[in-house]
Amino acid sequence: MSSSNQKITPFHGGLHLDGHKQVSTQTPIASIPVPQYLHIPVPHNSEVTATVGEHVLRGQALTTSSNSMTPAIHASSSGTVRAIEMHAVVNRSGQLLDCISIETDGNDKSIEPLAALKPSADNKQECLDRLRECGIVGLGGAGFPTAIKVATDKSIDTLIINAVECEPYITCDDMLMQEQASRVINGAETLASIVSAKEVLIGIEDNKPEAIKAMQAAASNAERGKIVIVPTIYPSGGEKQLIQLLTGKEVPSGGLPADLGVVCVNTATATASYDALHQGLALTERIITVTGAGVKKPGNYLTRLGTPISKLLDFAETDHKVYQQLRMGGPLMGIPVKDTSSPVVKITNCILAEAAQPQHAEQPCIRCGDCVRVCPAKLLPQQLYWFTRATEFEKAEDHGLFDCIECGCCDYVCPSNIPLVDYYRHAKFEANNIKSERIRSDRARIRFEQREQRLERKAEEKAALRAAKLKKLKEREEAKAAQQEGTQDNKQDEIAAALARVKAKKEKTND
């Protein structure tokens, strides 16, 4: 089914931005050659099962986890594990992470695919296990495990496929839909079967006419799958914003889409889920947009996970003298790339080479209210900023700090050039620390109180035992005394009897 007459409910705020998308959609998706070395970061809560010197095949799991929902990571080509050590990765903290480094052997041999599964509500647990086993996470940039997202036991009316891709420059989902629309529809159908969704809405921004055409054609024979064209406004690809656009429902603060009977999944995630369930394939590659200043061959590249970013830049013939900084992701939400030996990971949707920007110094807030007007989460960004500056993180939390989606709209419009999102990230970090500290001290207090109660109980038990012993002793002594008294009385009786007998005898003799 394909239709675009779905009612659209606009969300508050947002920005109309220049998309810069055409530049990377002029050529078909190309494949980056498998590099000599792959560096695959080890996720938290995971235990590495691969060993240095071991020969591994593409699709082979390299980690395991006691947490049943932590997705596995896999070798993305065949080769030998050369090291398991700290390596540069793209993250905001700039910290190195444990990575498994594989020297590829050029054969690109894979393990046997897992058996195909026919997803339904009846084999839901098997499907969730498969998604985790194949390492499926949100490929839109969040990296949230898909198995957790679809594990909900709430009744789901609507599965939303987030094909909006609203941030400027990024076009990997656009090209995926243009070239492989039926895979996207199959993926949507697969996930809809797992969550038993009654309808599937596929939201696409109106700046992607080719993708819309391809998706409408692919959806025409699908059982479920309605293409909904949404206006191009940033950040309509935010989960809460898209849900509001397509269903008119607002996810409440602290709530989940599933509470409204909705599950929302990114386009590439849907196709990866299809591959995992129907083809038995682990996630070992993804499409990445490489674009921006100095990129001579901007486009979309199918890249093995673990490939160093430098290889992508080289393949796209990037002039390193032209750009000022690299970013993983888009210009508003992307993370700066400090080291191009860092590998591409599951959430790498774009490598953006940014031209030099005029730098403006941060100025005091003039309370213009522009940030409030554009905030899609209906927050008071300047208020959050003041609370953060005053280190009143709990107040910031009370004012919806954790509802901030870090979209950067407020930063973008602020005439005082205040890096507001940096402040909010700091505030979230501190608020989380306070929460953890509170949990830790609550636990310590409970432990102390329990220990005190235990000691008190033990002291009471001891005192009771001592009292019982004393009582027993006293009773024993009393009994002994009584017995002695009895013996004394007997003796006196015996003496009296003997004296009586003597007296009687004497009297008899005198007679």
Contacts to ligand SF4 by CB under 6 A: 365-371, 374-377, 379, 381-382, 385, 404-410, 413-416, 418, 420-421, 424
Q: In angstroms, give the least distance from the CB of 393 to ligand SF4.
A: 15
Type of residue found at 463: A
In contact, 237 and 216? CB cutoff 8 Å: no
Query: Rounded CA gap, 426 and 419, in Å?
Result: 11
Closer to ligand SF4 by CB, 31 or 253: give it. 253
Closer to ligand SF4 by CB, 101 or 382: give it. 382
Closer to ligand SF4 by CB, 191 or 409: give it. 409
**Tokens 């993370």, located at residue:** 335
Q: In angstroms, give the least distance from the CB of 432 to ligand SF4.
A: 16
Q: In angstroms, give the least distance from the CB of 240 to ligand SF4.
A: 10
Three-class HEC string of 181-237: HHHHHHHHHHHHHHHCCCEEEEEEECCCHHHHHHHHHHHCCCCCCEEEEECCCECCC
Q: In angstroms, give the least distance from the CB of 302 to ligand SF4.
A: 32
Closer to ligand SF4 by CB, 193 or 416: give it. 416
Q: In angstroms, give the least distance from the CB of 421 to ligand SF4.
A: 5
Q: In angstroms, give the least distance from the CB of 238 to ligand SF4.
A: 8
Query: Rounded CA gap, 71 and 143, in Å?
Result: 10
Q: In angstroms, give the least distance from the CB of 167 to ligand SF4.
A: 12
Closer to ligand SF4 by CB, 147 or 396: give it. 396
Closer to ligand SF4 by CB, 189 or 411: give it. 411
Q: What is the dihedral of CA 150, 153, 157, 160, to 10 degrees?
A: -20
Closer to ligand SF4 by CB, 114 or 380: give it. 380
Q: In angstroms, give the least distance from the CB of 454 to ligand SF4.
A: 47
Type of residue found at 341: S
Angle in degrees, CA 390, 394, 398, rounded to 5: 115
First to last CA, the chain: 144
Closer to ligand SF4 by CB, 429 or 448: give it. 429
Q: What is the dihedral of CA 440, 444, 450, 455, to 10 degrees?
A: 170
Q: In angstroms, give the least distance from the CB of 431 to ligand SF4.
A: 14
Mark 415-444 as b/e (b = at least 16 C-beta within 10 Å).
ebebebbebbeebbebbeeeeeeeeeeeee
Type of residue found at 13: G
Query: Rounded CA gap, 499 and 491, in Å?
Result: 12
Closer to ligand SF4 by CB, 277 or 421: give it. 421
Closer to ligand SF4 by CB, 345 or 405: give it. 405
Closer to ligand SF4 by CB, 151 or 332: give it. 332
Three-class HEC string of 415-481: CCCCCHHHHHHHHHHHHHHHHHHHHHHHHHHHHHHHHHHHHHHHHHHHHHHHHHHHHHHHHHHHHHH
In contact, 264 and 237? CB cutoff 8 Å: no
Q: In angstroms, give the least distance from the CB of 386 to ligand SF4.
A: 9
Q: What are the tokens at 429?
A: 């970090």
Q: In angstroms, give the least distance from the CB of 404 to ligand SF4.
A: 3
Beta-carbon neighbour count of residue 105 at 10 Å? 16
Closer to ligand SF4 by CB, 270 or 371: give it. 371
Query: Rounded CA gap, 371 and 15, in Å?
Result: 11
Angle in degrees, CA 206, 211, 217, rounded to 5: 115
Write the DSSP string, 149-162.
HHT--S---EEEEE
Query: Rounded CA gap, 8 and 228, in Å?
Result: 9
Q: In angstroms, give the least distance from the CB of 323 to ligand SF4.
A: 25
